[in-house]
């Protein structure tokens, strides 16, 4: 194949870019920086076999991490992963008003009750790192689904932007190409309780159509308690669009089999 790429500016000079070319397809994918690539502990979480199966209880762990600081130590010790950092907090000995995190910078007296703060002792706490909290709030699900796709013989790119046929850039959770069939899929991965709402599905459909992908898959970790029937109706009557939801309790193989069957491909 003869291919010439003419670079017009330095916009992508220091940024990795993937170009996917087919008979009727031209896509440019620009990845965003992922916390997973630089955090070995989060990589260990994603590599857990059957991560969503009930006996692993990863969803419960994530909720605990987000809810209560006092549970963090227990969680990290049981699972041998580091998701927190220690932080010394200072409180007034008299009225327990929060004073700050650095003793040298504390006011000499409590602003609320006037008690001297120079002899105050720190309270040792475990605080979830901000970037880890953000990751556990939902980005982890994108990396988990990428792992499943790779097991099924797909080449994948996560957390980035795809330039559609209109020239507009679209944020995508995952772009994937099946190595045997050369099918191209874009995926949206939602871990929130509300799942696939009409607005989210329509926004995803617009990205799917503009990228000219073979398939567009909207993954929802949980099934909503009150699903909007219009969502399934729209998905069912729109060729190439798929809604796959409710993964809790499923093994990796069960999830992969469901995806491959829906997309009409076989695993390697």
Mean pLDDT (the chain) is 80
Written as one string, the DSSP assignment of 62-111 is: HHHHHH-GGGHHHHHHHHT---EEEEEEEE-TTT--EEES-GGGS-SB-T
The number of residues in the chain equals 268
Give residue 267's pLDDT band: very low, low, confident or very high (50, 70, 90).
Answer: low
Place of tokens 């997973």: 36
Separation of CA 153 from chain center = 21
d(CA 201, CA 195): 10
pLDDT digits (tens, 9 = 90+) for 47-96: 777 777 654 545 544 444 445 555 666 666 676 666 667 777 788 888 77
Neighbours of 107 (CB within 10 A): 9
* 109: number of Cβ within 10 Å: 14
Average pLDDT rounded to a whole number, residues 220-230: 88
Average pLDDT over residues 227-239: 92
Continuous segment of H or E residues that includes residue 203: helix 198-211
* This prediction's pTM: 0.69
Q: Which position has the token pair 């500016």? A: 9
Q: Any idea what the Cα angle at residue 252 is, between residues 236 and 217, rounded to 5°? A: 25
Let me know: does 192 contact 169? Beta carbons within 8 Å.
no
Residue 176's DSSP bridge partners are 156, 185
Backbone angles phi, psi at 177, to 5 degrees: -125, 125
Tens digits of per-residue pLDDT, 151-172? 999 999 998 899 888 888 899 9
């Amino acid at each position: 194949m003869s291919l010439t790429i003419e670079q017009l500016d330095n916009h992508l000079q220091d940024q990795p870019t993937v170009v996917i070319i087919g008979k009727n397809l031209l896509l440019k994918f620009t990845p965003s920086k992922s916390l997973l690539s630089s955090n070995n502990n989060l990589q260990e979480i994603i590599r857990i076999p059957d991560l969503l199966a009930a006996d692993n209880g990863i969803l419960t762990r994530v909720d605990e991490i987000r809810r209560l600081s006092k549970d963090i130590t227990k969680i990290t010790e049981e699972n041998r992963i580091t998701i927190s950092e220690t932080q010394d907090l200072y409180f007034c000995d008299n009225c327990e008003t929060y004073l700050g995190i650095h003793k040298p910078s504390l006011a000499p007296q409590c602003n609320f009750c006037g008690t001297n703060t120079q002899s105050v002792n720190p309270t040792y706490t475990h605080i979830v790192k901000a970037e880890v909290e953000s990751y556990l709030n939902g980005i982890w699900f994108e990396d988990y689904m990428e792992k499943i796709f790779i097991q099924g013989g797909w080449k994948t790119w996560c957390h980035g932007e795809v330039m559609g046929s209109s020239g507009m850039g679209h944020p995508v959770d995952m772009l994937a190409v099946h190595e045997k069939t050369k099918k191209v899929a874009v995926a949206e991965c939602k871990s929130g309780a509300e799942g696939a709402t009409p607005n989210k599905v329509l926004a995803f459909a617009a990205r799917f159509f503009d990228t000219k992908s073979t398939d567009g898959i909207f993954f929802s970790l949980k099934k909503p308690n009150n699903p909007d029937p219009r969502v399934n109706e729209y998905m069912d009557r729109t060729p190439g669009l798929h809604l796959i939801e409710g993964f809790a309790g499923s093994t990796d193989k069960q999830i992969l089999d469901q995806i491959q069957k829906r997309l009409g491909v076989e695993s390697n």
